[in-house]
Structure 1
Amino acid sequence: MTAPVLPRSARPAAGIRSLPARVAAANPVARLIASAPIVAGLVLTIDPVSAGVALVLELLLMPLTGIGWRRFWKATAIVWVLAPLGAVTILLYGQASGAVYFSWALVHVTEGSVALAIASVLRVLAIALPAIVLFAGVDPTDLADGLGQILRLPQRFVIGALAGLRMLALLGDDWRAITLARRARGLGDRRGPGALLRQCFGLLVLALRRGGLLATAMEARGFGGDVRRTWARPSRFGRIDAALIGVGVVIAAIAVTASVLTGSWRFIGG
């Protein structure tokens, strides 16, 4: 009789005693649930106070995730670049209100558009940063185990999504193989939208073929049957998982309360 294989998040490891290490080993489902209240609180309003408070609290708690600042900046660099770029459109073409700072043709930079652009930047950062940090290094199999055992999602959906996610890593290899094959046939020097579309179509055909073979293989091994399946790696919730979810709720509550008390709350549907 063999012992069950534990998921990485539940395997005891030497030296895991510090709080950052425990948070880093938290259940992936707990990380998913912890980010949900933050997202829910910030999507209801678009004001700089709620997003700014949430962002400050997240940055203060970032060392407790165990990700390390160097890895943090490397993983989130794209967000710090794209968030201000996305706000430029709001700054130039957002709803005009208050004092006018610059106006030319359709471009109107006003007091209201500036405030809206700042709120948008903070909002994107406050939503994206915790999602990236919490899911950095998450094993897809651990996440699938949690979705199936803890959230009780349909097993066919969970296993299928996991299989598809595992196949994503092969798309890069397929793209390089198609490129080499086209070069061998003397088509590698062709450029332009037509050549790109033909190569993308070839990649789609390979993906569909692999998906069909994978579906057949999984069906042959009993996936998707009526018999209740078992899990080789149990996924459980612990105190650190409950604490992580509580931190997400507290951050969202503080951000929303600060926005309401300062009169900055701006319901997005209003």
Structure 2
Amino acid sequence: MSLTLAPVCDAQAPIARVNPVAKLAAATVISITALVAADWLTPLLLLAALIAAVPFTGIRIAELARRLRWLWFAAAAVVIVNAVFAAEQTGRILIDFGPLTISTGALLDGTAIGLRVCVAATAGVLGFATTDPTDLADALTQQLRAPARFTLGALAALRLLPLLGAEWQQITGARRARGLEGGWNPVRRVRLFASTMFALLVGAIRRAGRLAAAMDARGFDSEIPRTHAREQRMRPADWVVLAGALLVCGAAIGVSAAYGVFTVFN
């Protein structure tokens, strides 16, 4: 279990230099469009646009695949579950094997849901993998006027997430050295996982209390207006990225409507 929040892209890549608020807004617009559309073509076009934007993010393909593998696996599971357990099997029957029945209508509906999950996951990963958490906090307080107390607290919590991964490895390593392993026994593995999570939770709560006291002692809880060491501004390129996201969403909806498959989720 490892966690890292540092950008994994080339810092000079075009999208990596975009204002974090603009990237957050673009990812939000694309995700909302994919979640609102109930057809399969709209999220498919949005996913194709996100994949086409990958070379401009500066993210290594291997690193992007590593971050997306479980999310896309979950999307595939969503497709299978919705196709198998659909309330109604419509269209042509593809599989009819005893109690297992899958039709084209159920498969398309499941694929549409899975594609929406893929779009939301990919947009989020591309946005956060190209953004430094400190730059995001600066942009939230400067562009969106988010409360400094909330933003700084969230930033401190995000900075502590990698420590959870390191502490997880320490706990599991120490227990393995004492011979505490689950082996092939699923019940023992579940109990060991639960106890490790409890130990990690206790340590995280203690660390959070110490961090809160330290931040209060340094005046982070004061109501005095704060200054910023690094100024974040919305440049023309940032507005272009946001406008491009809106254009892509409009084009995807337009193409789906032209093919007569566009429907709104309700």
TM-score, normalization: structure 2? 0.83
Alignment of 1:174 onto 2:174: no
Letter in 2 for 1:202: A
Instruction: State the match for 2:137 in structure 1.
Output: 144
Alignment of 1:35 onto 2:32: no
Percent pairwise identity: 33
Residues 72 and 195 (structure 1), Cα distance of their counterparts in 2 relative to 1, 3 Å cut: closer
Letter in 2 for 1:142: D
| Partner Cα distance (1:64, 1:183) in 2 | 43
Matches within 5 A, 1:238-249: 238-249=235-246
Instruction: State the match for 1:24 in structure 2.
Output: 16
Cα offsets for 1:55-90 (capped at 9, x unmatched): 223333332333354544444344444332321111
> What secondary structure does 1:24 align onto?
coil
Cα offsets for 1:213-250 (capped at 9, x unmatched): 10000001111212112222211111111111111111
Cα offsets for 1:161-200 (capped at 9, x unmatched): 111111111112323443455567x5x4264243433332
| Partner Cα distance (2:181, 2:120) in 1 | 42
> What secondary structure does 1:153 align onto?
coil
Matches within 5 A, 1:14-93: 21-93=13-85
Question: Equivalent of 1:233, from 213, 230, 254?
Answer: 230
Instruction: State the match for 2:3 in structure 1.
Output: none
Alignment of 1:206 onto 2:200: no
Instruction: State the match for 1:261 in structure 2.
Output: 258
Alignment of 1:97 onto 2:79: no
Q: From the CA coordinates, give the structure whose radius of gyration is larger.
A: 1
Residues 206 and 126 (structure 1), Cα distance of their counterparts in 2 relative to 1, 3 Å cut: closer
Letter in 2 for 1:121: G
Cα offsets for 1:78-135 (capped at 9, x unmatched): 4444332321111211231122233356532112112113323332333322322232
Q: Which one is further off, 75-84 or 215-224?
A: 75-84
> What secondary structure does 1:22 align onto?
coil
> What secondary structure does 2:25 align onto?
helix
| Partner Cα distance (1:233, 1:88) in 2 | 47
Residues 123 and 180 (structure 1), Cα distance of their counterparts in 2 relative to 1, 3 Å cut: closer
Residues 167 and 125 (structure 1), Cα distance of their counterparts in 2 relative to 1, 3 Å cut: same
Q: Which one is further off, 72-81 or 84-93?
A: 72-81
Question: Equivalent of 1:128, from 116, 121, 131?
Answer: 121
Contact 1:24–1:67 (Cα < 8 Å) also in 2: no
Instruction: State the match for 1:223 in structure 2.
Output: 220
Q: Which one is further off, 80-89 or 143-152?
A: 80-89
Contact 1:54–1:126 (Cα < 8 Å) also in 2: yes
| Partner Cα distance (2:262, 2:146) in 1 | 35
Segments of structure 1 that go 5 or more residues without pairing to the other structure are 1-7
| Partner Cα distance (1:54, 1:181) in 2 | 46
| Partner Cα distance (1:256, 1:231) in 2 | 40
Shift of 1:26: 1.2
TM-score, normalization: structure 1? 0.82
Q: Which one is further off, 60-69 or 92-101?
A: 60-69
Contact 2:83–2:102 (Cα < 8 Å) also in 1: yes
| Partner Cα distance (1:84, 1:61) in 2 | 23
Contact 2:59–2:130 (Cα < 8 Å) also in 1: no
Letter in 2 for 1:205: V
> What secondary structure does 1:219 align onto?
helix
Count of residues in correspondence between the two structures: 251
| Partner Cα distance (1:24, 1:169) in 2 | 21
Residues 79 and 152 (structure 1), Cα distance of their counterparts in 2 relative to 1, 3 Å cut: same
